[in-house]
Amino acid sequence: MLGNKNENRKFYNRNFHSFLGYCVGQIKLYNVIGERFNELHIFVEYFNKLAQKRSNEKLESMFPFIEEIFENKRYKYIKFTTAL
pLDDT score for 13: 67
In the structure, what pLDDT confidence band is assigned to residue 6 with cuts at 50, 70 and 90? low
Burial of 10 (C-beta count, 10 Å sphere; 0-12/13-18/19+): exposed
Distance CA 64, CA 15 (A): 56
Per-residue pLDDT of 13-71, as tens digits, reads 677 778 888 888 888 888 888 888 888 888 888 888 888 888 888 878 888 888 888 88
pLDDT score for 25: 87
3-class secondary-structure state, position 79: coil
Task: Give the global pTM.
Answer: 0.58
In the structure, what pLDDT confidence band is assigned to residue 84 with cuts at 50, 70 and 90? low
